[in-house]
Amino acid sequence: MEELCGAGAAAPLRGDVEEPKQGSVLFLGGNEVKSSAVVKYSSAPPQAAFARLQEKTDLKLPPANWLRESAKLGPAGTTILGNNKKSKPFSSFGMAYDFIDSVGNDVDVVSDSENIKKLLKIPYSKSHVSMAVHRIGRTLLLDELDIQELFMRSSQTGDWTWLKEFYQRLIDQKWQRKKKSKEHWYQKAILSKFLYYSINGDGAAQPVPSTSKQHQEGPVSGEGDEAGEASWPAPFEMPSSLSEDPGASNQGSVPVEPSYIVGHVASAPKEQNLTTLFNDGENSQGLKNDFVRNILWTFEDIHMLVGSNMPIFGGGRYPAVSLRLRDNNKPINVLTGIDYWLDNLICNVPELVMCFHVNGIVQKYEMIKTEDIPNLENSNFSTKVIKDIAQNILSFLKSNCTKEGHTYWLFKASGSDIVKLYDLTTLCEETEDKYQNPFTMPVAILLYKVACNMMLKKNQNKKHYGTIRTLLLNCLKLLDNGRHPQIIASANYMLSELFQLDEPKKEDSTDFPINGNSDESYSEEEEEMPDSDENGSYSNSSDPPDDNKAVAIIKSVGELSVPEKYKSVHRIRPSCAFPVCHGTEERCRLVLNYVLEGLKSVDSSIKKESDLPAADPSTPIPLKYEDESTSGGPECLEKQMALFLDKMGSFQKGKHSSQSGMIPGSWQYKMKLQLILKSSKAYYVLSDAAMILQKYGRALRYIKLALQCHDTYCCLCASMLPEVLVFLCQCLTLCGDIQLMLAQNANNRAAYLEEYNYQTKEDQEILHSLHRESRCQVFAWATDLSTDLECQLSVSCKCYEAAYEILLFSNLKSQNPEQHVQVLKRMGNIRNEIGVFYMNQAAAVQTERVGNKTVSTTEQQLWKKSFSCFEEGIQNFESIDDATNAALLLCNTGRLMRICAQAHCAAEGDFKREFSPEEALYYNKAIDYYLKALRSLGKRDVHPAVWDSVNWELSTTYFTMATLQQDYAPLSRKAQEQIEKEVSEAMMKSLKYCDIDTVSARQPLCQYRAATIHHRLASMYHSCLRNQVGDEHLRKQHRVLADLHYSKAVRLFQLLKDAPCELLRVQLERVAFAEFQMASQNSSAGKLKTLFGALDIMAKTKGAFQLIKKELVAESELTSEGKSAAENMSPTDSSTSLNKDEALKLLSIFESRMSFILLQSIKLLTSTKKKTGGINEEEAVLQTNKQVYSLLLRATANRSLTLLERVEVILNLLEQLSQNSDTGSAGIQ
At 1227 the pLDDT is: 47
Q: For the chain, state the CA radius of gyration.
A: 51
**Confidence band, pLDDT 50/70/90 cuts, at residue 461:** low
The mean pLDDT value for 568-589 works out to: 64
pLDDT at 216: 38
The share of the chain scoring above pLDDT 90, in percent, equals: 16
- Is pLDDT above 50 for 631? no
Which of 960, 1068, 1052 minimizes the C-alpha distance to 1006? 1052
Residue type, 790: E
DSSP states along 804-824: HHHHHHTT-TTT-HHHHHHHH
278-305 pLDDT per residue, tens: 343 344 345 677 788 899 999 988 999 9
Whole-Å CA distances, 306 to 39, 254, 451, 642: 10, 40, 22, 65
Q: What is the pLDDT of residue 1054?
A: 84
Regarding pTM above 0.75, the answer is: no
> What is the pLDDT, as a whole number, of residue 306?
93
Alpha carbons 595 and 496: distance in angstroms, whole number: 6
Whether the predicted pLDDT of 879 surpasses 80: yes
Q: How far is the C-alpha of 774 from the C-alpha of 768, rounded, in Å?
A: 10
197 class by beta-carbon count within 10 Å (0-12 exposed, 13-18 middle, 19+ buried) = buried
The answer on pLDDT for 699 being more than 90 is yes
pLDDT above 60: residue 1004: yes
The answer to whether the beta carbons of residues 598 and 549 sit under 8 Å apart is: no
Cα–Cα distance measured from residue 1071 to residue 1157, given in angstroms and rounded to the nearest whole number = 9
How many residues are listed for the chain in this entry? 1229
Report the distance separating Cα 702 and Cα 685, nearest Å: 9
DSSP H/E element including 1020: helix 1003-1027
300-338 confidence digits (pLDDT tens)? 889 999 998 888 887 656 678 888 899 888 888 889 999
Q: What does DSSP say about strands 302-308 and 265-266: parallel, antiparallel, or unpaired? A: unpaired
Q: Which of 1065, 1077, 986 is nearest to 1040 (CA)?
A: 1077
Percentage of residues in the chain having pLDDT higher than 70: 73
Task: Tell me: pLDDT of 819 over 90.
Answer: no
The closest of 596, 810, 589, 811 to 719, measured between CA atoms, is 810
pLDDT in tens, 198-240: 876 544 445 555 443 334 333 333 333 333 333 444 343 333 3
For 401-464, where are the alpha helices, taking DSSP H only?
A: 424-429, 440-456
**Shortest CA distance to 346 belongs to which of 289, 385, 295?**
295
pLDDT of 433 higher than 50: yes
| Angle, alpha carbons 320-326-332 (nearest 5°) | 100
Instruction: Identify the pLDDT of residue 99.
Output: 85
Quick one: pLDDT at residue 402? Answer: 86
Q: Which of 541-545, 668-672, 717-721, 1209-1213 has the lowest mean pLDDT?
A: 541-545
Number of H helices, E strands in the chain: 38, 16
Exposure class string for 262-280: b at 16+ Cβ within 10 A, else e? bbbbbbebeebebebebbe
Let me know: does 679 contact 592? Beta carbons within 8 Å: yes
- DSSP string spanning 306-375? EEE---EEB-TTSS-EEEEEEETTS---HHHHHHHHHHHHHHT--EEEEEEEETTEEEEEEEEEGGGGGG
* Cα–Cα dist 795/793, whole Å: 5
Give per-residue pLDDT as tens, 448-457.
888 888 888 7
Across-strand partners of 59? none
Beta-carbon contacts of residue 934 (< 8 Å; ≥ 6 apart): 887, 947, 950, 951, 954
Greater model confidence, 796 or 1218: 796
Is 607 buried (19+), middle (13-18) or exposed (0-12) by CB count in 10 A?
Answer: middle
SS3 of 868-917: HHHHHHHHHHHHCCCHHHHHHHHHHHHHHHHHHHHHHHHHHCCCCCCCCH
- Of 651, 57, 31, 654, residue with least CA distance to 384: 31
Most confident of 181-195, 410-424, 869-883: 869-883
Query: What is the C-alpha to C-alpha distance for residues 988 and 818, in angstroms, rounded to an integer?
Result: 45
Residue 561 has pLDDT above 90, yes or no: no
Mean predicted confidence (pLDDT) in 972-993? 87
Query: How large is the average pLDDT for residues 759-766?
Result: 91
Q: How would DSSP label each residue in 90-144?
A: THHHHHHHHTTTTTTTT-SEEEEHHHHHHHHTGGG--S-EEEEEEEETTEEEEEE
Which of 355-369, 389-403, 610-624, 1138-1152 bottoms out in mean pLDDT, i.e. has the lowest?
Answer: 610-624
Mean pLDDT of 614-618: 55
Q: What is the pLDDT of residue 498?
A: 84
Report the alpha-carbon distance of residue 1104 to residue 1086 in Å, rounded. Answer: 28
Looking at residues 844-852, what average pLDDT do you find? 75
Instruction: For strands 139-144 and 275-276, give the pairing.
Output: unpaired
Mean pLDDT score, 423-437: 70
CB distance 738 to 698 below 8 Å: no
CA nearest to 796, candidates 848, 738, 877: 738
Q: What is the pLDDT of residue 510?
A: 38
Question: Of the given ranges (115-119, 349-353, 1108-1112, 1198-1202), which has the lowest mean pLDDT?
Answer: 1198-1202
Instruction: Report which of 728, 732, 688 is spatially closest to residue 585, judged by C-alpha positions.
Output: 688
Is pLDDT at 164 greater than 50 in this prediction? yes
| pLDDT at res. 1176 | 67
H or E element that contains 33: strand 31-42
| Angle, in degrees to the nearest 10, between helices 789-809 and 722-744 | 160
For 31-35, 860-864, 1004-1008, which range has the lowest pLDDT when averaged over its residues? 31-35
C-alpha distances out from residue 46 to 6, 11, 145, 195, 893, Å: 7, 10, 34, 16, 87
Which pLDDT belongs to residue 922?
Answer: 93
Phi/psi at 910 (5° precision): -90, -20
Average of per-residue pLDDT values in the chain? 75
More confident of the two residues 1145 and 658: 1145
Return the number of other C-beta atoms located less than 10 Å from residue 635's C-beta.
Answer: 8
The closest of 598, 592, 577 to 514, measured between CA atoms, is 577
pLDDT digits (tens, 9 = 90+) for 884-917: 999 999 999 999 999 998 888 755 555 567 888 8
Average pLDDT over residues 589-594: 92
Is 857 strand, coil or helix?
helix
Residue 871: count of CB within 10 angstroms of its CB = 15
What b/e readout covers 1037-1071, taking b as 16+ CB neighbours within 10 angstroms? Answer: ebbebbbebbebbbebbeebeebbbbbbbbbbbbb
Pairing mode of beta strands 265-266, 275-276 = antiparallel
> Higher confidence at residue 983 or residue 216?
983
pLDDT given for residue 243 in this prediction: 35
763-798 pLDDT tens trace: 999 999 888 888 888 888 888 888 888 999 999 999
Give per-residue burial for 803-827: e unless 16+ CB within 10 Å, then b: bbbbbeebebbeebeebbebbbbbb
Q: What pLDDT is attached to residue 283?
A: 41
Other CB atoms within 10 A of residue 1114 CB: 13
